[in-house]
Amino acid sequence: MKEKKTPGLIVLLTDFGLKDPYLGILKGVIASKVPEAKIIDLSHEVSPQNVKEAAFFLRAATPYFPAGALFVCVVDPGVGSQRNILWVKTRRHQFLAPDNGVLSWIQEPILESRIVSSREWMNSDISNTFHGRDIFAPVAVELIKGKPVRLLGPKTLKKVNDPWPQPLLKPGKAEGKIIFIDRFGNCISNIEASKLRVLNFKRDPEIFFRGKSVGPLRRHYAEVPKNRPLCLDSSFGLLELAVRDGSFAARFKSQIGEKIECRWN
């Protein structure tokens, strides 16, 4: 007797929040078709319509998920328009997402991508405002069940809508910017700590925000007294501005896009 194949892992990323029923309905569609489906919620608190924030979440999270995981990304301000929905395969993972830049920052090389076009994979009735329920969920079900992707739609060349914002790196100085602010008020930059060590491996730099020193690069929050600002290598491998037991964003009213400087005197 042939052993039944276990459905793969679905990882959900949306801006639905938890107050409204949208997320529950999306999961209900999956559960009604594959009750044994394994689902992990990456986040449903992406700021509404914030494609770049969702792209950052994917960049930060995908290295920690098992091979074969299917990331279903429903941050879709263009829902119902002429924008395409993409299926993308990398060496380790699959992605199902609108073609709006949400996949721009994934770190794995893309091996294959297709436009989701086959109506047989979708619900019979498709709302113009809830593709999460009527397209993403049913398509995800067929994918984890092993339906051949050649039936999904035509191949396409995935273009990067908005490449990772590279910091300016030069001897004695590095310049980057804030790209994400977490719920603790920590401001995450696009400067990779590992690249700073290449610029000057003998000592750590001094960090500046709005032209004022935040001090040397720290290893952890407890290296400074309470309520003091600091900069450290975050869990994402990116420089982070923080306040010990406080919120850097609230203290300084910092914004996405503001500049961070690293200097070696």
Question: What is the model's pLDDT at position 2?
Answer: 44
Q: What digits encode the pLDDT tens for the residues 206-215?
A: 999 999 999 9
The tens digit of pLDDT for each residue in 122-149 reads: 999 999 999 999 999 999 999 999 999 9
**Is-contact 108 62, C-beta < 8 A?**
yes
Give residue-wise pLDDT tens across range 187-212.
Answer: 999 999 888 866 665 678 899 999 99
Q: How many CA atoms lie within 13 A of 197 on its CB side?
A: 7
The mean per-residue pLDDT over the stretch 248-256 comes to: 97
d(CA 153, CA 26): 22
Contacts of 243-247 with CB under 8 Å at 24 or more apart are 243/185, 245/221, 246/185, 247/184, 247/185, 247/186
**Which is nearest to 143 in space by CA: 30, 35, 50?**
30
- Residue that has been written with the tokens 């397209």 in this structure: 135
Calculate Rg over the CA atoms of the chain.
21
CB atoms within 10 A of CB 116: 22
Q: List the domains of the chain with CATH numbers.
A: 9-151 (3.40.50.10790), 168-263 (2.40.30.90)
pLDDT surpassing 70 at residue 3: no
pTM to 2 decimals? 0.92
More confident residue, 8 or 69: 69
- Give dist(CA 5, CA 1) in Å, integer: 12
Residue 73 predicted with pLDDT over 80: yes
Task: Inform me whether the pLDDT recorded for 4 exceeds 90.
Answer: no
Amino acid, res. 203: R
Q: How many CB atoms lie within 10 A of CB 199?
A: 15
Give the CA angle between residues 235, 237, 243 to the nearest 5°: 55
What is the C-alpha to C-alpha distance for residues 188 and 249, in angstroms, rounded to an integer?
A: 10
Average pLDDT of 4-13? 80
181: nearest Cα among 242, 102, 227, 100 = 242
Do 12 and 40 contact (CB within 8 A), yes or no?
A: yes
Euclidean distance between CA atoms 241 and 258, whole angstroms? 11
pLDDT of residue 193: 87
* Whole-number pLDDT of residue 6: 56
Q: What rounded mean pLDDT belongs to the chain? A: 93
Does 176 have pLDDT greater than 90?
yes
